Amino acid sequence: MESTEKNTKRFPLMALRGITVFPRMSMSFDVERKASVAAVEAASNEGRRIFLVTQRDVLVEEPDDRDLYKMGTICVLKQFIRTPDGVRVMVEGLCRARLEETFRFGDLVYAEVTELPETAQEARGARAQGLLRNAVSLFEEYLEIAGNPSPETLISLTMRNEPGYTADYIAQNAALKYTEKQQVLETVDRTKRLRAVCALLAREVEVLGIEKELNEKVYGSMIRDQKNNVLREQMRVIQSELGEDDVSETDEYRAKIRALKLQPEIEDKLLKETDRLAKQPFGSAEGAVLRGYLDTCLELPWNKTTKERNDIAEARRILDRDHYGLDKVKERVIEFLAVRQLAPDVKGGILCLVGPPGVGKTSIAYSIARATNRKMARMSLGGVHDEAEIRGHRKTYIGAMPGRIIAAVKQAGSMNPVILLDEIDKLADDYHGSPASALLEALDPEQNTTFRDHYLEMPFDLSRVLFITTANNPDTIPPALLDRMEVIDVPSYTDEEKLQIARRHLLPKQRKKHGLDGRMLRVSDNVIREIIAGWTRESGVRQLERELAALCRKTAAVVAEKTADSVTVKAGELEKWLGVRRYKPETMTGRDEVGLVHGLAWTAVGGELLNVEAIAVDGSGKLELTGNLGDVMKESARTAVSYIRSRCDVLGVDKDFYKTKDIHLHFPEGAVPKDGPSAGITITVAVVSALTGAPVRSDVAMTGEIMLNGRIIPIGGLKEKTMAALRYGMKTVVIPAENASDLAEIDQTVRAALDFVLVSSADEVFDLVMDLPEKQQAEPEKKREKRRAAAKSAAPAPMRQ
């Protein structure tokens, strides 16, 4: 120890981590750091005086001046004992001191400090006495809550009657943070120091009181649970002695719930409902509701999954075996399996198969389930109008049950099934809510991990479910719901595809169903073609299957009556087996007629030929429209008339026809509603033919929406429309030039049989389908041939397997 000229003293310095030593207080602690051990050894050789100061951050291993507080304590080294890990020391504080400067000699650090001695001074005055008593009272309350009251300590504090000593003693022995103790150490004024200690102690008493209250509640709950367990065990022993050692119902539920190893939230919910059941009297209505709820929840496949098949070759074989054609759908399934093979944790998808009735949308879903080795569950949404059908009812209602989605998962028995939502476009809304809106959460991969059914009242993971929906018309599906699904078009079948489906699938299926084999009933391809042409008119194959079933029934009757051992159906003799031919072959008259134009229309069951008839008679300029037309088609007729009025000079039409002629447009089959803009060019050609008397070619069909300037804009449903043109014997089809890219989707059979002409204006159509004697600026034949060549050179359609 040395004295300097500035009335300071120099002592070995030891930095403390998380510890504060107060004057006139003793403390023991372990010393391990090299610098601290060096300070202890130096102090033992230099008057046993050492300066202890707390470092600001306990994580700093080698602190410098910036890491140390400026206020510390000069202590006397009472005792130190060497241990294998360092030194165990006991110190006693002498007085406060302010750190002025440090000096480092290797590991040893000396501190130059200014002493701040404090003499004993009793509390004087009523205010000081009140503050002192308040501090002692708070410390007594603190010790009682902490569980270690010491009457001797409280008596000594009261007898000494020193504010400074009392503040330091309380700060040393209370469980305060080292930063708070440092604040007390740095407060030199006795009264301020005692007031600060009182504030800290009051806060600590409040915190300890809350902690004690919580501990008592937890301990009380544990005591109650232990008591209940002891009582239950005693009941089991008594029941065992009486021969009634059956396990109680609630214990069975608890064992089943714990065996499922569910998420904590779900397990706690089910155990809570089990506890409620245990409190219900036998035979109560509430008990029956709880039993039904628990049974339903325990029957769900919480942790059950099927091992998915990611073998792409096997999946392709299954899809090809079950369905002919449908290459786009099959390719999408193969892509799905390929992604699953590379990323097994990918979430389930939502596919929407859109197409006319009877094309195999539902059976495709079953094939997908077989190809992926998933369980299958189907739920029909046609006519569903209650939101509770989707999300279930609250279990408080009588007869409540889960919604259809949870019921489908339960039926499938696994967490990764294929769920088919059939006829999703047939959902209805009423005052019960919107089922389509209820499906938004279930069909969103980002939300359905925590799908909540109203009956279950807890999250259920639907992310591993592969949802497949079917629809005939996507226009009736709400946009928000349609946006969550990947739409895959399932197109109509061509006659050749129907032949292959009948030969490979339908006929063998019906033979087996009616107990026949290939020897008992022989049907050639020509017979099947004749059935397709004369007894069916559909986009799918349902009616074709019915007609084949009728053939099988007739054959079964012949064989059962032993009239013959086998039946061979020949072409041209079908009427004696299937009755009168339903659809006569479409024959063209062979002559071009005035005012009769063949249009093309899309329907829900495929394409149809739409004839448009027009006549012009003397009158006052009225436009008559008949044939059960919609508003859009009526607007197309008015647009056509306005366009013709603007082109009278070019078309050779009387300029005053809108005043002197009445035009009547008729669309046959008036019982069938018709609407849409794609008949615009058909109507225009019919009206021009009627006004000019020029006949229209009978082997040409056309489609396209017309604008006021005569431009023809693209339309939809081209594939179905071209199939109808082929079926009705057309030779040439006129389509908008902007639909050229859609030619790649048309079947090769249709493309080879029809001559496609791409047009962009009405004038090009007039040149093609009729001869206007007074028409100016006629298009050269070379230009016409160029358009036909452009249609034929469009990208070829994919080959069907």
Angle (nearest 5°) at CA 686 between 683 and 690: 140
Q: Would you state the pLDDT for residue 1?
A: 47
User: Which residues does the annotation mark as catalytic?
Assistant: 678, 721
Residue 551 sits at φ, ψ, to 5 deg, of -60, -40
Residues contacting residue 51 through CB under 8 Å, at least 6 positions apart = 11, 12, 13, 14, 72, 73, 74, 75, 97, 99, 111, 113
The first and second tokens of residue 767, run together, are 């040149």
Between the CA of residue 571 and those of 507, 517, 542, what are the distances in Å? 16, 20, 21
Q: Would you state the pLDDT for residue 236?
A: 65
Is the separation of the CB atoms in 665 and 612 below 8 Å? Answer: yes
Distance CA 204, CA 173 (A): 13
* CA dihedral sign of residues 244, 249, 251, 257: positive
Q: Strand 2-3 relative to strand 418-422: parallel, antiparallel, unpaired?
A: unpaired
Residues contacting residue 500 through CB under 8 Å, at least 6 positions apart = 324, 325
Is the separation of the CB atoms in 458 and 410 below 8 Å? Answer: no
Distance CA 293, CA 681 (A): 63
Partnered with residue 112 across adjacent β-strands are: 10, 101
Residue in the block written with tokens 């099988």 = 552
Is the separation of the CB atoms in 506 and 547 below 8 Å? Answer: no
Collapsing DSSP to helix, strand or coil, 379 comes out as strand
- Helices marked H in 561-664 — which ranges? 575-578, 631-646, 648-651, 657-660
Q: Would you state the pLDDT for residue 786?
A: 53
Q: According to the 3-state scheme, what is the secondary structure of 240-290?
A: HHCCCCCCCHHHHHHHHHHHCCCCHHHHHHHHHHHHHHHHCCCCCHHHHHH
Collapsing DSSP to helix, strand or coil, 741 comes out as helix
Collapsing DSSP to helix, strand or coil, 672 comes out as coil
Q: Would you state the pLDDT for residue 586?
A: 56
Residue 543 sits at φ, ψ, to 5 deg, of -65, -35
Distance CA 715, CA 177 (A): 79
Residue 566 sits at φ, ψ, to 5 deg, of -150, 165
The torsion region of residue 7 among left (phi > 0), alpha (psi -120 to 50) and beta comes to left
Length in residues, the chain: 801
Is the separation of the CB atoms in 765 and 736 below 8 Å? Answer: no
- Provide the strand spans (E) within 251-403: 350-354, 376-380
pTM flag (> 0.85): no
Between the CA of residue 686 and those of 610, 626, 639, 646, 707, what are the distances in Å? 12, 14, 13, 17, 16
> How would you class 201 by CB atoms within 10 Å of its CB: exposed for 0-12, middle for 13-18, buried for 19 or more?
buried
Q: Strand 466-471 relative to strand 418-422: parallel, antiparallel, unpaired?
A: parallel
* CA dihedral sign of residues 356, 358, 359, 363: positive
Distance CA 401, CA 153 (A): 68
Q: Strand 712-713 relative to strand 705-706: parallel, antiparallel, unpaired?
A: antiparallel
Q: If residue 370 lies in a helix (H) or strand (E), which one and from where to where?
A: helix 361-372
**Running along the chain, 801 residues long, what does each successive block of 10 average in pLDDT?**
60 89 89 88 87 89 87 89 84 89 87 83 73 81 73 67 82 84 86 85 84 79 73 70 62 87 89 85 79 89 85 85 83 82 75 85 87 89 83 83 90 90 83 79 84 89 89 85 86 81 90 88 88 83 90 90 85 86 66 89 78 91 91 92 89 87 90 88 93 90 92 87 84 92 82 90 89 54 52 40 22
Is the separation of the CB atoms in 459 and 442 below 8 Å? Answer: no
- Helices marked H in 464-572 — which ranges? 479-482, 495-501, 507-513, 525-535, 542-560
Is the separation of the CB atoms in 569 and 523 below 8 Å? Answer: yes
Q: Would you state the pLDDT for residue 549?
A: 92
Q: Both ends of the chain: CA-CA distance in Å? A: 103
For the chain, the helix, strand and coil percentages under 3-state DSSP, each to the nearest 5? 45, 20, 35
Distance CA 206, CA 145 (A): 10
The first and second tokens of residue 293, run together, are 């709820």
Residue in the block written with tokens 């310095």 = 13
Q: Would you state the pLDDT for residue 666?
A: 93
Using CA atoms of 290, 295, 298, 304 in order, give the dihedral in degrees to the nearest 10: -150
Residue in the block written with tokens 């786009």 = 328
The 8-class DSSP code of residue 23 comes to B
Distance CA 390, CA 409 (A): 13
Q: Report which of 164, 418, 394, 201 is spatially closest to residue 309, judged by C-alpha positions.
A: 418
